[in-house]
Amino acid sequence: MSNGKFKIYDKLNDVTHYTELIKDNFSVFYKDKKAKVYVHSYGCLQSVSDGEKLKGILVDMGYIATDVLEEADVILYNTCAVRENAEDRVFGNVGVLKALKKQNKQLIIGIAGCMTEQDDVKKRIQKSYPYVDLIMGSNAFDILPKLLYDKLSNNKKYVELEPITEKSDIIENIPVYRDDKIKANVSIMYGCDNFCSYCIVPYVRGRERSRASSEILEEIENLVKQGYKEIMLLGENVNSYGKGLENDIDFPTLLKKINAIKGEFWVRFMSSHPKDCSKELIDTVAACDKIEKHIHLPMQSGSNSILKVMNRKYTIEHFMSLVDYVKEKIPNATLSTDIIVGFPNETREDFEDTLSALRKARFDTVFSFIYSKRTGTVAAKLDDSVTDKEKSDRMCELLSIQNEIIVEKMQSYVDKTLRVLVDTYNTERNSVLGRDSGGILIEIENGDKTLKGRFVDVLITSAKRTLLLGKIV
């Protein structure tokens, strides 16, 4: 099949074959040049994790990873479609690449990720950014080697148009390039079946698919052996983990198996959909010493009528009962949430319900977003009576209430001792930074850089809004 300048593939999965072909011919394609690759991911951790695989594949082929855009021979943007502003940023950044392409005729530009699963976006890239060579979907790591090989050997442009919803294979053993040597992302499932009315994810990432538990456990065992200290398990709805797998394993059971892996490390996970968050999951977090005492439970709204139109399939009363259960079973747990402000036709009363839920739940972190219309979703068809000004005013109001809550909460840690995983050395202040099992940022005043990657007990001496200060005890 062909689509103008772009050749269209229906199914390309042969990662190993084409990776080997590029490896074998690398010196032919690049002569003696040490060719470099630049990969940037936009959006959520799932996208970052996919970007680490894309980079891993390219480094495995022979490219050298670089953080300097101008040095690169391959530039890959791994995109996010969840909100419009992330898409705008991608288009802006792709526009800048035109000049680089003029300077380096051999430069290969690829765009991967959720944005490229949308037909209108694909067409816009082909029409307005003709210097883009490869357009891949959100499973780009399956097809990148084949597309890149064809580009290098035939100098053809390729676009992958296979609908994501039909993709069911999960390819294992893809090399992963992790910049971080202490914390590692591990995807345990892909896709989403929930179809919240505002959300593009089910359309661009396809149906839920879980990785085999044996593969996940082996990957984590290897990461722990390599010295990784924090494993972040990723999935759009981790509570659905295991659906459709032959060995009938669920998420709490997977957590228990991970907890049994030998070694000193912590595990965290996101996201946990409130409609599927079971008491068993909360009990498991409480009981397992390696599972961090933090739960991300996206509320979205405090109004039952908005939750209904959002198709979230829980009530605010059910959500609050989960929050109460977490607080009862894990008193030291931190809770974070996502909130959408200005959903179509959100009344002042609906918004007040969100504020009162915020005051009641007292989250430690709130990720708040102004509603962004996503073409193709159910909510995009709704008329909207709320003005942009009302939306941004509501966002400011929400942030200021959450600010007061967080200042009080941070103050309550003073004089307590927290176990901290040190992950950063601050050269300017000659101090080290880390996070506790709830994810709170802590600066250790008497720490030195040898502590990076180690767990230490820290007495909290003072608190700022976003940071605790303390000393090793």
x-or-dash pattern for ligand SF4, window 231-260, by CB under 6 A? -----xx-----------------------
d(CA 152, CA 87): 28
Decide: residue 315, CB within 10 A, 0-12 exposed, 13-18 middle, 19+ buried. Answer: middle
Out of ligand SAM, ligand SF4, none, what residue 116 binds, judged by CB under 5 to 8 A for its kind, is none
Contact (Cβ atoms closer than 8 angstroms) between residue 433 and residue 443: yes
Shortest Cβ 273–ligand SF4 spacing (Å): 5
x-or-dash pattern for ligand SAM, window 30-49, by CB under 6 A? --------------x-----
The 10 Å Cβ neighbour count of residue 330 is: 20
260-289 residues in contact with ligand SAM (CB under 6 A) are: 271, 273
Identified binder of ligand SF4 from the candidate list 110, 202, 242, 470, rule CB under 6 A: 202
Identified binder of ligand SF4 from the candidate list 74, 192, 456, 460, rule CB under 6 A: 192
Beta bridge partners of 203: none
**Which CB, 304 or 372, lies closer to ligand SAM?**
372
Stretches 109-117, 129-137, 371-379, 434-442: which one binds ligand SAM (CB under 6 A)? 371-379
Q: Residue 434 corresponds to which amino acid? A: G
169-198 residues in contact with ligand SAM (CB under 6 A) are: 198
d(CA 256, CA 285): 9
Identified binder of ligand SF4 from the candidate list 66, 93, 126, 194, rule CB under 6 A: 194
Shortest Cβ 244–ligand SF4 spacing (Å): 16
Counting contacts by CB under 6 A, is residue 176 touching ligand SF4? no
Q: Phi, psi at residue 422, to the nearest 5°?
A: -80, 130
Identified binder of ligand SAM from the candidate list 19, 116, 187, 237, rule CB under 6 A: 237
Out of ligand SAM, ligand SF4, none, what residue 143 binds, judged by CB under 5 to 8 A for its kind, is none
Counting contacts by CB under 6 A, is residue 201 touching ligand SF4? yes
Contact (Cβ atoms closer than 8 angstroms) between residue 207 and residue 167: no
Size of residue set near ligand SF4 by CB under 6 A:
10
**Which CA distances in Å does 257 have to 105, 216, 253, 319?**
51, 10, 6, 27
Out of ligand SF4, ligand SAM, none, what residue 202 binds, judged by CB under 5 to 8 A for its kind, is ligand SF4
User: What angle separates helix 348-361 from helix 316-329, to the nearest 10 degrees?
Assistant: 10
Q: Residue 270 corresponds to which amino acid? A: M
| DSSP code string of 295-331 | EE---B-S-HHHHHHTT----HHHHHHHHHHHHHH-T
Shortest Cβ 379–ligand SAM spacing (Å): 7
Out of ligand SF4, ligand SAM, none, what residue 24 binds, judged by CB under 5 to 8 A for its kind, is none
Q: Cα 402 from chain centroid?
A: 23
d(CA 89, CA 106): 25
Out of ligand SF4, ligand SAM, none, what residue 188 binds, judged by CB under 5 to 8 A for its kind, is none
Identified binder of ligand SAM from the candidate list 108, 186, 201, 420, rule CB under 6 A: 201
Q: What is the largest CA-CA distance in the chain?
A: 67
Q: Phi, psi at residue 291, to the nearest 5°?
A: -85, 125
Out of ligand SAM, ligand SF4, none, what residue 162 binds, judged by CB under 5 to 8 A for its kind, is none
Beta bridge partners of 459: 417, 471
Beta bridge partners of 223: none
Contact (Cβ atoms closer than 8 angstroms) between residue 237 and residue 192: yes
Identified binder of ligand SF4 from the candidate list 58, 199, 341, 421, rule CB under 6 A: 199
Beta strand 183-187 pairing with 108-113: unpaired
Out of ligand SAM, ligand SF4, none, what residue 340 binds, judged by CB under 5 to 8 A for its kind, is ligand SAM
Q: Cα 221 from chain centroid?
A: 22
Counting contacts by CB under 6 A, is residue 273 touching ligand SF4? yes
**Which CB, 146 or 312, lies closer to ligand SF4?**
312
Identified binder of ligand SAM from the candidate list 71, 276, 338, 393, rule CB under 6 A: 338
**Which CB, 35 or 192, lies closer to ligand SF4?**
192
Sheet holding 183-187, edge to edge: 183-187, 230-234, 266-270
d(CA 239, CA 234): 11
Out of ligand SF4, ligand SAM, none, what residue 195 binds, judged by CB under 5 to 8 A for its kind, is ligand SF4
Out of ligand SAM, ligand SF4, none, what residue 346 binds, judged by CB under 5 to 8 A for its kind, is none
**Which CB, 321 or 368, lies closer to ligand SAM?**
368
Shortest Cβ 448–ligand SF4 spacing (Å): 41
**Which CA distances in Å does 394 have to 337, 340, 349, 389, 404?**
17, 11, 12, 9, 16
Binding region for ligand SAM (CB under 6 A): 44, 82-83, 198-199, 201, 236-237, 271, 273, 298, 300, 338, 340, 369, 371-372, 374
Binding region for ligand SF4 (CB under 6 A): 192, 194-196, 199, 201-202, 236-237, 273
